[in-house]
Amino acid sequence: MTLLAVERIKLLSTRSPWWCALTALLLTGGFTALVVSNTSPQFPATVASTQFAYSFGMAVIMVLATLAVTTEYRFGTIRTTFQAVPNRTAALLAKTSVVALIALLIGEVMAFLSWGLSMAIKPEADLALNSTADWLNVAGVGPVCALAAVVAVAVGILVRHSAGAISLVLIYFLAAENLITLIPEIGDDIYKWMPFNVAHKFVTGDGESAGGAAFGQPLSTSTLSPWWALAYFAGFAVIMLVVALATARKRDA
């Protein structure tokens, strides 16, 4: 518990997490307002359309998670941490846990803020959370953001440089997986198992929360069920973290 408290203080005493959280909320809220305000009777607002922009916020959360690690390497404070806590695995696990919890909270606030804002913009639309799919489409954003933050922390531990780690995380998240579909014949089959595509399946399911409307989030091509999709993404995050922890134990700080 002491390690968790220390990591919480170290993280929240700097400005970057607060700016990242604010940026994530403004980005998702702004894009959500733009999308929902342009709905019409032909393309009505749905629960799915309220979360159209969650990936923008998640990208910012991953930047926050990466900086939580690389900033310590940049300023050399990680050496002090490892001197105070010789068990590097315990120290890094505490940091990862704090970052994941903060990412979960930001993700949930981000999702429900977008949903509430949509209800205010289109009060006549049917945006009630009436089904499991509806709840997953909104509340599911938080867990996905938390696991994405774990992946980003792992990349930060492995790369250690802020610019390189952030570039790698954003390029993969925003572009690399989609580019795989361009591989002739097998690209689409490989893409079905890409981690962030699978994670998106947990949020969107098979499109039930879109109410049959075309105006909503693009659906995941994964063949897994939503809960198995979350388990798959969690497994990927754990593997990345294990590799990062093993690497951190073997090399100099």
The predicted pLDDT at position 214 comes to 47
The predicted pLDDT at position 39 comes to 80
Contacts of 230 (CB under 8 A, 6+ apart): 140, 143, 144, 147, 199, 202
The predicted pLDDT at position 41 comes to 77
C-alpha distances in angstroms, 193 versus 100, 159, 221, 236?
23, 24, 9, 11
The predicted pLDDT at position 64 comes to 95
User: Which domain does 80 fall in, by range?
Assistant: 2-250
Taking the mean position of all CA atoms in its chain, how far away is CA 234?
12
Q: Which of 70, 64, 154, 165 is nearest to 105 (CA)?
A: 64
| Structural domain count of the chain | 1
The answer to whether the predicted template modeling score (pTM) of the entire model surpasses 0.85 is yes
Radius of gyration of the chain (CA): 19
pLDDT by residue for the chain (253 residues), tens digit each?
A: 688 888 888 888 888 899 999 999 999 999 999 988 888 777 788 888 899 889 999 999 999 999 999 998 888 888 888 888 888 899 899 999 999 999 999 999 999 999 999 999 988 888 888 888 899 999 999 999 999 999 999 999 999 999 999 999 999 999 999 899 899 989 999 999 999 999 999 998 887 776 554 456 678 889 999 999 999 999 999 999 999 999 988 877 6
Q: Are 133 and 208 in contact (CB under 8 A)?
A: yes
C-alpha distances in angstroms, 243 versus 158, 195, 237, 239?
8, 16, 10, 6
Using CB atoms within 10 A of its CB, is residue 6 exposed (0-12), middle (13-18) or buried (19+)? middle
C-alpha distances in angstroms, 49 versus 70, 115, 250?
35, 9, 46
